[in-house]
Structure 1
Amino acid sequence: MNKILVLPLMLLSISTFAQLSTQDTLTSRNLEEVTIIGDKGKSLPGAGQYIGVRKLEKLNQPNVNNVLRIIPGVNVRDEEGFGLRPNIGLRGTPVNRSAKITLMEDGILIAPAPYADPSAYYFPTFARMQGIEVLKGSSQIKYGPYTIGGAVNLLSTTIPSTFKGFAQLSYGSFGTNQQRVWVGDSRKNFDYVFEVNRIASNGFKKLDNGGNTGFDRRDVMGKLRWHTDENVRIPQSVTLKVLNTTEEGNETYLGLTYEDFKANPIKRYAGTQNDILDLKHNHLSLNHTIIPSKNLAINTTAYYSYTLRDWYRANTFGGKSINNILADPITNQEGYNIMSGKANGAIEGQASNRTYLSKGLQTNAQYSFTTNEISHKFQVGIRYHTDQADRYATSSTSTMTNGVLIQTGIGFKGNKENQIRNAKSFATFLSYDLSYKGLKVSPGVRYEKVNIDFQNYGTADNARLGTALKSAKNDLFIVLPGIGINYELNPNMSAFGGVHKGFSPPGMPSITSTTGQAKVETSINYELGYRFNKSGLNAQVVGFLNNYDNILGSDNVSGGGAGTGDLFNAGNAKIQGLEIGIEYDLLHKKNANSDLKLPVSIAYTYTDAKFQETFVNGGGDWGSGTINKNDLIPFITPHLLTTSIGIENKKFNATIIGRYTGETRTKPGQSDAIVPNDNIKYNDVNTITGFLIIDVSANYKFSQNFSAFATINNITNNKSIVANLPQGYRPNMPLSFNIGLKAEF
């Protein structure tokens, strides 16, 4: 039956993701850059939020984590304080390295290797974005491969309709600074935008014996678009996008023991002074859009991405692993003293060099027409995608001498990890929207065919001759149906709901697992929601249930595991919750002639996540041993609340935002919470205490072209533990400020 269903889809389609406007009659306007949600969120048969450039300009937040927290249903775990490699989950999906959500920039998959190695060690620079979209529920079947939680689409600088330029300069605490300039124009047949962005910092953490703990990230982007004349019979456009990103980050995986965190939360051990991340990312895409008739539009994109991520990190101190030292610094006193620079001794480090390639071709065809009072829209698409992760990890030796780390030897390339991960995928979807008066019904189906190839050459075969090669393959296909409904009760309110089958790929087949191969992760997802928009009040309430047939655990160093990258079957699980989003202008009815506004907002998420069967876990991020039915799934925060209040007029605006992250379980279980405290060992802790961070942002417009802004982050200087991963307790950025100027011309 599956094959019968898939065949017509393959014949009809031409690919996925870059969605066109939902107008019934297509015009040359569709040749411009478009969004997934945009201003269509009120009619989606599912939950979707769009944050545009005006909101981002008010917040002045280069950290994507702080912006995502204003969207219900989004769970974020902080790591290095700047949001360069965010850990994002949607509706209870794991947050680690954003590996279980579909990440896109301008509608194109942007994780370095979405199928073969999905951990997002590269994440687009949020400081250069003009918008962000989050899609959840049944509407997301168009945007795989990760369709359980949802999709995040970042919107880069668009080509302006007339000549326009923008410049931004800012400076703040810890030497944090940004320079951003872009200029663009639309001419008769040729349009363009060119952008240069740099954001850098000395870092807020303090290395023993001094040193830079910050980063320097630079982006250069260009978009060139050719298009036909405005009134031609068949409008067309071709857009070339080129992006180059580089980053040098003095960042480490190593956090702190509880005693050291309590004494100085921004301390960083001397043993990490040589830890550094070298990141390079190049992206190229070519998009063609054509409107053969007033009801038909076809959008096709070819894309290619190259990402290099080489992260050197200290691994052992005095022969003791970091995990052992954190678990018991007293027993492993010698290793701890070397780590903190108090004693001389040997250190083993590892450079994890990974090269990622990602490329594909995707097309979306949309056909709209009307019969009597019924509107119809068909969308059909295909994407062919391949990606690869080439992983070399090489160990080296150093010695700590009087607090200074000196390298003493480098092993041969690949002596810690030497493998290639390949994936090919063919994805297609068919969706149909039927609209009659206030009712919109949207059934659809997605098909994914994935071929995975894992080649492990072993740590002795530097030349990859295959003398110790171990390989494994996994081929799979799956059909994912869904349906969403939106009904306008009246012009001001609507109800929506949906059900769809969710899917996540199973990762690389294991060559070492003793618990069996990972299966695909699947779930049946339900949602029911209500929207209201009247008299300055905009509200949305959504209940959701993700009923997993098989939820997958993982083993990554960034998630607290050993780093094999293996996935583990965990069987049935249930994640359910409630999302509430409210926005209201308190002065909406006070004075209709005044431009003064007093906006307030609330974003609340409740999530209940539990395993539904007892099993023996294979290790990794959830630990080893038996996990019991009704144990809490770790790293999913039950209560998330973000509130804001602002004041604004034509010249000035200011916003205060409070972000509360509730108590978060870090280990499976049903027992009482054990939080970090004196005399509590690191491995005995199962919960991180909740915390509240308050930020303030203000903007003042001197003229039509010039404005100034200021932000204060963590205004109360909260010093809570925000995470215990990857290795040890980690702080939020302390009290900090940032001031800057913006110019439009």
Structure 2
Amino acid sequence: MGKHQNKKRVVTTSPQLKIRVVNAAIIATFITSTAWAEDKSDTSAFELGTVLVVAKRLPTTEIGDVGGDQIASVVTSKDLLQFNRNNVGDALNLLSGVTLSTNSRNEKTVAVRGFDSRQVPLFIDGIPVYVPYDGYVDFNRFSTADLAAIQVAKGFSSLAYGPNTLGGAINLISRKPKKAFEADAMVGVATEQTSANVGTNQGMWYLQTGVSYIQSDGFPMSSDFIATSTENGGARNNAYRKDSKFSLKFGLTPNARDEYAISYYKQNGEKGQPPSTVPASARYWKWPYWDKESLYFISNTTLGDYESVKVRLRVGRDSLKFRRNAFNSLI
């Protein structure tokens, strides 16, 4: 038999070959890293991990124009009826980011994301409403009987509102009839509250009028209440209120894009502030009248396919009178 012998092959490399192999490996690694970085930038996102918010914008013909760049909220007339909100303060309490409170003068005040009514002013159809005393509006004085909607712009608001809108704006949008004849009425039982609205739209012109009245002599105290020098029990002292409002609007619509309207608004109010049941901190306030009267003109004239001119003019009278320390003892 022949014998087979295993032979080992020894491969030797020179130092120059080793250097070439190392350089090639470094270049290959650099090219691979660059390509990986480019591919990573094109990686598609995980669609199920994204958050998409979709909301349907309400028709502008029903609630007025809400700019797409605004963070806005709207309370419609349907909401006012469904939740029985008879004044603007209670109606605004339906919205997120809006806080309702009562100040030391028994007035309803509203804060929108921390800004009070001096930074978030009140408007009626885009016309500003101011209080001459200190600028704080009592939202309890404004009825919702003749409103189509309440529009609240939070944060940045349109320059069309004018100055003092650092935190937004609250706009009361009045009604506009759509049919040849529209009418509704409401009567309250717990409090003396009545309201009525009548309107007509004849194509080329329309007319809308509304009245409201509310009166309350106070509210009953608990039967367990112990009388003090500022509150004798029974009906709450100095807790009366009386508010009436009349509104009238006449408008011309010569075509589908132009509109001219004259509105008259008159409001009379009277109220008292219940004093604290603790004599040391009691404050005695009465408002013999809290009146507002305005006549304003609003128009929209189309100049072209994308241009229009809007005019708002107001002539008004605001009367606010209060009495302090009207009485010293109630019993």
With structure 1 as the length reference, what TM-score do the two structures score? 0.32
Q: Which has the higher helix share?
A: 2
- Alignment check: 8 A CA contact 2:63 2:148 kept: no
Aligned to 1:112: 131
- Alignment check: 8 A CA contact 2:238 2:274 kept: no
Distance in 1 of aligned mates of 2:120 and 2:309: 26
Distance 1:128 1:34, change over 3 A: closer
Aligned to 1:165: 183
- Is 2:108 the partner of 1:86? yes
Deviation of residue 146 (structure 1)?
2.4
- Is 2:80 the partner of 1:62? no
- Is 2:158 the partner of 1:137? no
Q: Which has the higher strand share?
A: 1
Residue type at the aligned position of 2:309: I
Q: Mapping of 1:349-368 within 5 angstroms?
A: none
- Alignment check: 8 A CA contact 2:212 2:246 kept: yes
Residue type at the aligned position of 1:91: R
Residue type at the aligned position of 1:118: G
Distance in 2 of aligned mates of 1:145 and 1:258: 42
Distance in 2 of aligned mates of 1:245 and 1:179: 15
Aligned to 1:239: 261
- Is 2:257 the partner of 1:257? no
Distance in 1 of aligned mates of 2:299 and 2:252: 10
Distance 1:111 1:185, change over 3 A: same
Deviations 1:408-462, CA, capped at 9 Å, x for gaps: xxxxxxxxxxxxxxxxxxxxxxxxxxxxxxxxxxxxxxxxxxxxxxxxxxxxxxx
Aligned to 1:75: 99
Distance 1:46 1:243, change over 3 A: closer
Deviation of residue 130 (structure 1)?
2.6
Deviation of residue 183 (structure 1)?
0.7
Distance 1:205 1:105, change over 3 A: farther
Q: Mapping of 1:473-552 within 5 angstroms?
A: none
Determine which of 63, 73, 78 is the counterpart of 1:49: 73
With structure 2 as the length reference, what TM-score do the two structures score? 0.68
Determine helix, strand or coil for the equivalent of 1:290. Answer: strand
Aligned to 1:293: 304
Distance 1:186 1:152, change over 3 A: same
Deviation of residue 205 (structure 1)?
5.9
Aligned to 1:335: none
- Is 2:316 the partner of 1:305? yes
Determine helix, strand or coil for the equivalent of 1:295. Answer: coil
Distance 1:62 1:136, change over 3 A: same
Residue type at the aligned position of 2:88: V
- Alignment check: 8 A CA contact 1:90 1:101 kept: yes
- Is 2:312 the partner of 1:283? no
Determine what percentage of the aligned residue pairs are the same residue: 19
Q: Mapping of 1:665-680 within 5 angstroms?
A: none
Aligned to 2:164: 146
Determine helix, strand or coil for the equivalent of 1:279. Answer: strand
Deviations 1:254-273, CA, capped at 9 Å, x for gaps: 4333999xxxxxxxx7x94x
Q: Mapping of 1:558-707 within 5 angstroms?
A: none
Determine helix, strand or coil for the equivalent of 1:66. Answer: helix
Distance in 2 of aligned mates of 1:180 and 1:55: 17
Distance 1:189 1:127, change over 3 A: closer
Deviation of residue 131 (structure 1)?
1.4
Distance in 1 of aligned mates of 2:153 and 2:174: 17
- Alignment check: 8 A CA contact 1:205 1:213 kept: no
Determine which of 101, 116, 123 is the counterpart of 2:120: 101
Distance in 2 of aligned mates of 1:218 and 1:246: 5
Higher CA-based Rg: 2
Bigger relative contact order, structure 1 or 2 (CA pairs below 8 A, ≥6 apart): 1
- Alignment check: 8 A CA contact 1:159 1:223 kept: no
Deviation of residue 153 (structure 1)?
0.8
Distance in 2 of aligned mates of 1:182 and 1:204: 29
Distance 1:102 1:239, change over 3 A: same
Deviations 1:637-661, CA, capped at 9 Å, x for gaps: xxxxxxxxxxxxxxxxxxxxxxxxx
Aligned to 2:205: 190
Distance 1:182 1:144, change over 3 A: same
Aligned to 1:199: 214
Residue type at the aligned position of 1:106: D
- Alignment check: 8 A CA contact 2:210 2:247 kept: yes
- Alignment check: 8 A CA contact 1:219 1:245 kept: yes
- Alignment check: 8 A CA contact 1:112 1:306 kept: no
Deviation of residue 187 (structure 1)?
0.7
- Is 2:186 the partner of 1:156? no
Residue type at the aligned position of 1:119: Y
